Amino acid sequence: MSTLAVSDASFEQDVLQSSKPVLVDFWAEWCAPCKQIGPALEELAGERADVMTIAKVNIDDNPDVPSKFGVKSIPTLMLFKDGQIVSTRVGAMAKSRIAEWLDEVASA
């Protein structure tokens, strides 16, 4: 399974109402660090498909959701569980760091 493209229109259903935790990557096509973490997120989406969804919101095409959640710089990764933000990270990270962070948050 690959990452899920989420829009302003689908955010509530795809993220806030999801039965699984959802990691949302706020990104843009012109953002080099966003492109840098893209492959890691795709891999993690496949590896963790049974326990979580990894979604991507293009901030240029979907400005409402990033504004609502106070996204000021990208990439911003927000982990949602039961419709609430449980953790946020800003900036590019190696796949191993993203995985460690997700493991820490999931066990909390």
Report, as residue numbers or ranges, the catalytic residues: 31, 34
Report the SS3 class of residue 81: strand
Tokens describing residue 105: 């948050």
C-alpha–C-alpha distance, residues 74 and 83, integer Å: 21
Q: Within 13 Å, how many C-alpha atoms sit on residue 87's CB side?
A: 15
Q: Look at the block and give the residue holding tokens 């993220």.
A: 15
What's the CA dihedral at 40, 43, 46, 48 to 10 degrees?
A: -50
